[in-house]
Amino acid sequence: MIDQLWLIPLGFAAGILGSMIGLGGGIIVVPVLTFLGVPPTVAASNSLFAAFSNSIASTISYSKQKRIEFSLGLKLGLLAIPGTILGAVISTDVAPDIFKILFGFVLVASSVYIFLRKQVESKEKIISKQLILLIIGSSFFAGIISSFFGIGGGIVFVPLMIVGMGMSMKKAAPTSQFILLFASLSGVIVHSVLGHPDFIQSGFLAIGAFFGGLVGAKLSLSVKERNLKILISIVLVITAVKLFFDSLTTGSLF
């Protein structure tokens, strides 16, 4: 148990970033665990514990800052639950190499979003019937991604709220963390029922992620994000390349 205490600072660092950008700290936790040989399903389910803990702390802090759209967040969170159940179930038998390739694409998409997120902010839009259908479908898809990869559904929810619904980044990231309360909790429950998590690892990650969420929410008010987003984007792309390389060199895909 002592030799796994390093998971606390990992969860802390991931929690800070996850809270600030609204994507969930899984984009940091899952690659690290995967590189260390943790099976994909275990890595994803462990990461969800951290995401849930992080979302609790972030929601507490952001609610005090009055930056959460609770009504919208509740609806999107509930819509994501069926997807999280499906994501946990289909993750059971995923091949490590397939997981690495798919997760690599998720990281590339995340890095592009982080780097360009200021440019995608738009004016408030009228929610049409077509947009409602898009929101429902996107929420279900975000739930699958959240539970399958253990990253939370922020990579879908944040752009959806900004581009599709015209919400400002100042409120989209905090609202995304509130949504993750529902998405990550339902994923945690299903993964646990299926016997996926390592509860010791999950506990250490969750401890670090909770305090990281508190710090990240405060830093989001004052941090200069230009250098931060460049650094994060570079790290994510490098990680994605490493995942692609690992999956191809093992040769198990062919």
Residue position matching structure tokens 């944040």: 158
Q: What is the pTM of this model?
A: 0.82
Model pLDDT, residue 254 = 38
Q: CA–CA separation, 156 vs 33, rounded Å?
A: 23
Name residues of the chain where pLDDT drops below 50: 251-254
Q: CA–CA separation, 71 vs 73, rounded Å?
A: 5
Q: CA–CA separation, 44 vs 228, rounded Å?
A: 25
Q: CA–CA separation, 8 vs 50, rounded Å?
A: 10
Task: Identify the burial level of 130 via C-beta atoms within 10 angstroms of its C-beta, where 0-12 means exposed, 13-18 middle and 19 or more buried.
Answer: exposed
Q: CA–CA separation, 184 vs 243, rounded Å?
A: 24
Task: Identify the burial level of 1 via C-beta atoms within 10 angstroms of its C-beta, where 0-12 means exposed, 13-18 middle and 19 or more buried.
Answer: exposed
Model pLDDT, residue 151 = 81
Domain ranges for the chain: 2-250
Q: CA–CA separation, 153 vs 177, rounded Å?
A: 9
Model pLDDT, residue 193 = 95
| DSSP secondary structure code for residue 122 in this structure | -
* C-alpha separations of 68 from 51, 88, 126, 130, 170 in Å: 17, 27, 19, 25, 9
* C-alpha separations of 139 from 19, 43, 143, 160, 189 in Å: 19, 23, 6, 9, 19
Q: CA–CA separation, 217 vs 173, rounded Å?
A: 10
Query: What is the percent of the chain where pLDDT is above 90?
Result: 38
> Closest Cα to residue 179, out of 35, 22, 3, 61?
22
Which residues fall within 8 angstroms of residue 41, CB to CB, at 6 or more apart?
A: 91, 92, 94, 191, 196
Model pLDDT, residue 197 = 93
Model pLDDT, residue 203 = 96
Please check whether residue 143 is in contact with residue 81, taking contact to mean a CB–CB distance below 8 angstroms: yes
Residue 117 CA from chain centroid, whole number: 16
Q: CA–CA separation, 168 vs 131, rounded Å?
A: 18
